Amino acid sequence: MNYFILFLEGIITFISPCILPMIPIYISYFIGGNKENKSSKALVNSMGFVIGFSIIFTILGAAFGTFGAFLKEYMNTFNIVAGVILILFGLNYIGILKISLLNRSFKLNSKKTRDLNFLAAITFGMIFAIGWTPCVGTFLGSALMLAANSQTTIEGIFMLLSYSLGLGIPFVISALLIDSLKSAFKFIKTHYKVINIISGSLLIIIGLLMITGYFNLLLSYLTLF
């Protein structure tokens, strides 16, 4: 269940205001100056880009999962602290709080049109993940808190991999269908406020469950089905 939650958080991150409006620019950067075979080029380079940021995020997941193992004795305290942090993230997403660090965005230089290859796209994705972290900090932070709560390196890796897939799959689909999805992008942009409220509310609910100790109980109950 926690993997599914993180997958959904990845999708929500994709449609967040700091990511979605930039998608056409990113994809045009993947295609480069050569317009021939642009679909295949966008597919290959977008996959490389996704692999790049997934590497960074899964490394973070492994680190937090490993670190969580040392917190086993203090897990109740950790759950309370992590829950408070998630609630703050949720309030920031809704707009009740303004945390400037979480609202920064990575700016891509759209004037650069030199062609990317697959390996360059992977490198670009890795570098982009580091600069992008403040922009996606709300849900990335949530994913890392859950990874730490797992207390194992392997689970931390798979949790952040789930988050990366939720973020990456829409990226690849958009690269293939960018012309067909323009109307969908416009619809999402016009409903940002509702999306932000739903997204922030999800974080607040998870935070409250962690503080009260019901989150792990809920997960253990769901594993029975």
Average confidence score pLDDT of the chain = 75
Q: 184-192: long-range contacts (C-beta < 8 A, 24 or more apart)?
A: 185/20, 185/23, 188/15, 188/20, 189/20, 189/21, 192/17
pLDDT at 114: 52
**What's the rounded mean pLDDT across residues 117-124?**
86
Determine the Cα–Cα distance for residues 118 and 144; give it in Å rounded to an integer. 28
Range with the largest mean pLDDT of 37-46, 48-57, 182-191 = 48-57
Query: How would residue 17 be classed by pLDDT, with cut points 50, 70 and 90?
Result: low
Which of 49-58, 130-139, 171-180, 188-197 is least confident? Answer: 130-139
pLDDT at 59: 92
Which of 9-23, 37-51, 117-131 is least confident? Answer: 9-23
Determine the Cα–Cα distance for residues 62 and 179; give it in Å rounded to an integer. 37
Question: pLDDT, tens digit, for every residue of 97-115?
Answer: 776 655 555 454 544 445 6
Which of the pair, 81 or 101, is modelled with greater confidence? 81
**Residue ranges in 178-191 assigned as alpha helix (H):** 182-190
Determine the Cα–Cα distance for residues 61 and 140; give it in Å rounded to an integer. 10
Q: Degrees (nearest 5) of the Cα angle 7, 31, 55? A: 35
How large a percentage of the chain has pLDDT more than 90?
10
Determine the Cα–Cα distance for residues 70 and 101; give it in Å rounded to an integer. 28
Beta carbons within 8 Å of 185's beta carbon, 6+ residues apart: 20, 23
**What's the rounded mean pLDDT across residues 42-56?**
90
Q: Is the dihedral of CA 16, 145, 103, 46 positive or negative?
A: negative
Question: pLDDT, tens digit, for every residue of 125-179?
Answer: 888 777 665 556 667 777 877 787 777 888 889 999 999 999 999 888 888 886 6
Instruction: Record the pTM.
Output: 0.69
